[in-house]
Amino acid sequence: MTKHIFITGGVVSGLGKGITAASLAYLLKSRGYTVAMQKFDPYLNVDPGTMSPYQHGEVYVTDDGTETDLDLGHYERFAGVNCDRHSNYTSGKIYSSVIAREREGGYLGATVQMIPHITDEIKTAIRSAAKPGIDIVISEIGGTAGDIESLPFLEAVRQFKNEAGPCNAMVIHLTLVPYIKSVGEMKTKPSQQSVSILHNIGIFPDMLVCRTETAMEAEQRRKLSLFCNVPDEFVIEERDVQHSIYEVPQELAERGMDAKVLGLLKLPVNESHLDDWHELLNRVLHPERTCRIALVGKYAGLRDAYKSIFESFAHAGIALHTKVECDMLEAEELEADCSKLSGYDGILVPGGFGARGIAGKIAALQYARTHRMPCLGICLGLQCMVIEYARNVLGYADADSTEFNPETTHPVIDLMPDQRGIASKGGTMRLGAYPCTLVEGTRAAELYGQRQISERHRHRFEFNNAYRDTLAAAGLSISGISPDDTLVEMVELSDHPFYVGCQFHPEFKSRPFAPHPLFVGLVKASLKVRGER
């Protein structure tokens, strides 16, 4: 029987439930258990796909094309799990399903209510992750205890835990224990009140994970145990890490969190195998060199908008014993002057939607191309590479994407029929994993070390095949194409230290133990350029 762990949050948002959940999953996997993970978000959007990155950070995409919360990136990177459409549910998705069923007569005329219909739908979603062969499902409940939006999910957790029976489901409550510097004292009252909210709705946490700035003393742990009705040994300190989020699994392991979780679930506490993680962490904490990368984007005010990109650079740095310092530069600020790029070793131009910042991205790409600075263009970044090359090498002054200029006489980027012959417009974006064939002898094929690859996509516009031969003849090599030869997936310059563009999002497949070859290639080329200065 699959066991279930629910992770809730209290006091304030942003405490790191996703990192904690992913770290626990890794620790459980290191003891030989198979783990699946889920995120339940209380907002009414059906999915994060149409939300501004400033609202909720990046939109993470799974192999099956599901647009999800960025926490699923933590799940896949830390725990090595493969997430899918059963891994992320929002209130909007739950309510839409219930309303659609009611419209079809699925409730046989019953009055549709929050309880039992909405909570039953949530419980069905929880069970959807308990596939054959899965030992433990970890379900993270978004929001904070006390939020009105989270109540249906918490009620569903209460019901599910009761129905599952003893030792088959447990609740871990992540809470803040703040240190008040002016009085020199750590305060447990906010956590007590947060747990009290859960008690009032019938949820009694089995374990507390306490985010702290400083070490907890025995007195604080005793008070939390007494007033929160949690045994002292299950009050787990999670102190702020000093250097990297990849320190969190080791910290929780030192607290014995995974062993205690298995004890509560009445599962054997198998031997833990963490040697690989210790080696990884050693590389993170003791790099041999440094390189600087400029990320030229349009959401420079929020690092979470490019979360997976930053993590991919960390992974490349681990592989190359390098600390990668990646700074966000606002694309619009580079439109008139790109001189500040001279202080960097490499450039990355990420994906995005809309015309804002395009001129700055194109200017940065021209700078990288003409100054022989290593550069990687992702999704919209590839499209801007094509536009820049068409304008400044081929001389097509108005070359553009029809996304930005429908009247251009040189639509080098355009809406193209997708692989099913349907125009890729509106809700028919190319989403999820698609195959790609790499051209033999190209840098792309060299980096991957294979000809056939699969990468995740999230875009609507494509390289216009009408310009394929013209651009290739002018030196912009087509290095990756769809197996049926209809879609350009990668471009590059063969006479440049590193100038590569990809239509897909490689950052979604990078892992700590398997860094993505395109990020490794960019960092390696950037280190070489840095050494030649």
Catalytic residues: 379, 505, 507
* Phi, psi angles (nearest 5°) of residue 2: -70, 135
CA angle 42, 48, 50 (to 5 degrees): 130
Strand pairing category for 169-176 and 3-9: parallel
Nearest to 366, CA basis, from 496, 518, 525: 496
Separation of CA 327 from chain center: 18
Spatial contact of 6 and 62, defined as CB atoms under 8 Å apart: no
* Phi, psi angles (nearest 5°) of residue 88: -145, 120
* Phi, psi angles (nearest 5°) of residue 309: -65, -45
Q: Which residues contact 19 (CB under 8 A, 6 or more apart)?
A: 74, 78, 245, 248
CA distance 276 to 49: 35
* Phi, psi angles (nearest 5°) of residue 29: -65, -35
Spatial contact of 238 and 212, defined as CB atoms under 8 Å apart: yes
Strand pairing category for 400-401 and 411-414: parallel
Q: Is the peptide bond before 116 cis (omega within 30 degrees of 0)?
A: yes
